Amino acid sequence: MALIFERPSTRTRVSFEVGVTELGGHPVVLREGETQLSRGESLRDFALVLSRFVAAIGIRTGPHRTVEELAEHSAVPVVNMLTSEHHPCQALADLLTLRERFGDLRGLKLAYVGDGNNVANSLMLLGAAAGMEVAVATPEERRPSLSVDGASVTLTSDPEAAAEGAHALYTDVWVSMGDEASAASLRTSLEPYRLDEALLERARPEAIALHCLPAHPGEEITAGVLYGERSAVWDQAENRLHAQKALLELLVA
């Protein structure tokens, strides 16, 4: 499997490398600047050639159109390992974590608080598909770009309302890759959306805390929640490996 990394990575890279190896395959890691793409080769030519060599392609990049164009011209499955619009492999691991903790996903309420980014988009899509209720609380100006039809997804600017009765509270970094120039204003805007002990108390007594990592304790989440007994963050991180192995077996076997 070709693993193309145009963005920094810890969990995605290690989980895919280990997962491909455990499935009996060989991961070929291609970093930004290491292929002819950096010298002007088209994505079409890149996909046509690369899919003659490998059984699958994974890419972690910025523009979502890059994944779409690779998939359009590839003869093998193309896995979105992250784009600015979606993070589906993370959402698969999140749903696996919820299923481990609560059993059937149908009827569970997941509350996401913070920036309306790629993680929020994928949670809305996959959560709704799994029969969950997904409540997303963001500042008005940071609402998710994605629109999901149906009553199972709600958007609000009130984090307490989103957290009410939730089985899980989820957050992500306030400053994503590519947003560094606006970091100060983002932190100010997202300050009321911190996942702290008070917000967790708004959820069900059995509710868990989730974070896709890397975390910045004291910003989007408190250290007490991140490392506390109601945190499922480390199971969630491990489940990247298991969910992605299942995905690859489905796509390649």
Q: Which residues are catalytic?
A: 60, 87, 90, 172, 212, 240
Helix residue ranges per DSSP H, 109-228: 118-129, 159-163, 183-190, 197-202, 223-226
pLDDT at 35: 93
Q: What DSSP state is assigned to residue 62?
A: S
In the chain, which segments carry CATH 3.40.50.1370? 2-83, 89-238
| Nearest CA-CA partner of 117 in 14, 217, 196, 220 | 220
Instruction: Give residue-wise pLDDT tens across range 66-111.
Output: 999 999 999 999 999 999 999 999 999 999 999 999 999 999 999 9
pLDDT of residue 150: 75
Helix (H) or strand (E) holding 5: strand 2-5
Give the per-residue pLDDT at 172. Answer: 97
Q: Is 182 exposed, middle or buried (0-12, 13-18, 19+ CB in 10 A)?
A: exposed
Question: Residues in the chain with pLDDT < 70?
Answer: none
- Write down the CATH number for the domain with range 2-83: 3.40.50.1370
DSSP SS3 for 153: strand
Q: Which residues pair with 171 in a beta bridge?
A: 211
Q: Output the pTM of the full model.
A: 0.95
Q: Is the domain defined by 89-238 classed in CATH 3.40.50.1370?
A: yes
Distance of CA 141 to the CA centre of its chain: 21
CA distance 142 to 157: 10
